[in-house]
Amino acid sequence: MTTALIGQPISRVDGRRKVTGAATYVAEFQAPGLVHGAIVRSTVANGRIASIDSSAAQQAPGVIAVLTHQNAPKLAYRAHKGAPDPGIGERLHVLQADRVSHQGQPVALVIAEGLEQAVHAAMLVRVTYAPEAAITDIARAEPVPLTPPSETRRGDPDGALAAAEVKLGQTYVIPRENHNPIEMHATIASWDGDSLTLWDKTQWVHNVADEIAAVFGIPARNVRVISPFVGGAFGSALRTWPHVTLAALGARVAGRPVKIMLSRREMYYGTGFRPHTVQRVALGASRDGRLGAILHNGDQETSTYEEFTEALLNATGFLHSCPNVNTRHRLAPMNVHTPTYMRGPGEASGIFAIESAMDELAVALNIDPVELRLRNEPEQDEFRQLPFSSRSTRECYQAAAERFGWSRRNSEPRSMRDGRQLIGWGMATATYGAGRAPASAMARLLPDGTAEVASAASDMGPGTWTSMTQVAAETLGLPIERVRFTLGDTRLPRAPVHGGSITMASVGSAVQAACRKAREDALARGGGTNDVTEAMRRIGQPVEASVDSTPGDESQRFSMHAFGAVFVEVAVDPDLGETRVRRIVGAYGAGRIVNPKLARSQCVGGMIGGIGMALMEHSVVDGRNGRVSNANFAEYAVPVHADAPPVMDVIFVEEHDPHVNPLGVKGVGEIAMVGVAPAITNAIFHATGKRIRELPVTPDKLL
Amino acid sequence: MAKHHVTTTINGDPVEFLCEPEQTLLDVLRDELGLTGSKEGCASGDCGACSVMVDDRLVCSCLVLGVEVDESTVETIEGMADGDKLHPLQQKFLEEAALQCGICTPGFLIAARALLVKNPDPTETEVRYWLAGNLCRCTGYDKIIRSVLDVASEMKRA
Identify whether the C-beta of residue A413 lies closer than 8 Å to the C-beta of residue A686.
yes
Over its C-alpha atoms, chain B yields an Rg (Å, rounded) of 16
Do A307 and A353 belong to one domain?
A: yes
pLDDT, block means (10 residues), chain B with 158 residues: 92 97 95 97 97 98 98 98 97 97 98 98 96 96 97 92
Say which of A310, A355, A569, A670 is annotated catalytic. A670
Calculate ∠ Cα B53-A636-A694, nearest 5°. Answer: 150
| Residue B1, pLDDT score | 60
Range(s) of chain B covered by CATH 3.10.20.30: 4-79
One domain for residues A419 and A442: no
Contact A21 B23 (CB under 8 A): no
In-domain check, residue A478 = yes
The per-residue pLDDT for range A594-634, each reduced to its tens digit, is: 999 999 999 999 999 999 999 999 999 999 999 999 999 99
Distance from the Cα of A649 to chain B's closest Cα (Å) equals 10
Among A525, A550, A575, the domain-final residue is A550
- The per-residue DSSP string of A142-175 comes to --EEEEEEEEEEES-HHHHHHH-SEEEEEEEEE-
Interface contact flag, A634 B44, Cβ < 8 Å = yes
Looking at the structure, do residues A545 and A655 belong to the same domain, yes or no?
no
Q: Is residue A311 part of a domain?
A: yes
Put simply, the chain B residues between 50 and 89 with a CB less than 8 A from any chain A CB are: 76-78, 80-81, 86
Do the domain assignments include residue A141? no
Together in a domain, A527 and A568? no
Pair A399, A453 in one domain: no
Cβ-based contacts of B38 with chain A (< 8 Å): 21
- Tell me, yes or no, if A670 is annotated catalytic: yes
Sign of CA dihedral A480, A481, A482, A487: positive
Which residues neighbour A523 within 8 Å (Cβ) at sequence distance 6 or greater?
Answer: A529, A530, A532, A535
Report the residue of chain B nearest A117, measured CA to CA.
B22
Is residue A334 one of the residues assigned to a domain? yes
Listed in sequence order, the residues at least 6 apart from A432 whose beta carbon sits closer than 8 Å to its beta carbon are A344, A347, A501, A561, A562, A667, A670, A671, A674
Give the closest-approach CA distance of A641 to chain B in angstroms.
Answer: 5
**Residue type present at position A701:** K
Specify the CATH number for the domain of residue A526: 3.30.365.10
- DSSP H or E run through A254: helix A242-254
Cα first-last separation, chain A: 63
Per CB-CB distance under 8 Å, the chain B contacts of A234 are: 137
Domain assignment present for residue A50? The answer is yes
Give residue A386's region: left, alpha or beta (phi > 0; psi -120 to 50).
beta
Q: What is the CATH number of domain B88-157?
A: 1.10.150.120
Q: Are residues A420 and A302 in the same domain?
A: yes
Contact check, Cβ <8 Å, A231/B103: yes
Judge: B101–A27 Cβ closer than 8 Å, yes or no. no
3-class DSSP assignment, residue B84: coil
* Alpha helix ranges (H) inside chain B: 25-27, 88-95, 105-118, 124-130, 142-157
**Full residue range of the structural domain in which residue A323 is found:** 277-435+556-702
The answer to whether the CB atoms of A601 and B100 lie below 8 A apart is yes
Is residue A302, in this structure, part of any structural domain at all?
yes
Nearest by CB to B138, from A263, A605, A633: name it: A605
**Which residues of chain A fall below pLDDT 70?**
1-3
A393 and A462 assigned to the same domain: no
Please tell me whether residues A451 and A513 are part of one structural domain.
Answer: yes
Report yes or no: A228 and A24 within 8 Å, Cβ to Cβ: yes
Looking at the structure, tell me whether residues A565 and A691 fall in a common domain.
yes
A205 in the same domain as A74: yes
Q: Among 3.40.50.150, 3.10.20.30, 3.30.930.10, 1.10.357.140, what is the CATH number of B4-79?
A: 3.10.20.30
Instruction: Tell me what pLDDT residue A1 has.
Output: 46
**Number of structural domains chain A divides into:** 3
User: Is A206:A225 a contact under the CB 8 Å cutoff?
Assistant: yes
Let me know if residue A142 belongs to a domain. no
Report the pLDDT value the prediction gives residue A2, as an integer from 0 to 100: 52
ipTM of predicted complex: 0.98
> Are A295 and A261 found together in one domain?
no
What is the least distance, in Å, from the CA of A344 to any CA of chain B?
14
Q: Are B137 and A178 contacting, i.e. CB atoms less than 8 angstroms apart?
A: no
Q: In what order do the strands lie in the sheet with A647-652?
A: A416-418, A421-433, A561-572, A579-589, A647-652
DSSP secondary structure of A463-519: -HHHHHHHHHHHHHT--GGGEEEE-SBTTSPP---S-TT-HHHHHHHHHHHHHHHHH
Q: How many CA atoms lie within 13 A of A181 on its CB side?
A: 29
- Is A619 inside any structural domain? yes
Residues of chain B within CATH 1.10.150.120 domain(s) are 88-157
Q: Are residues A611 and A695 both part of a single domain?
A: yes
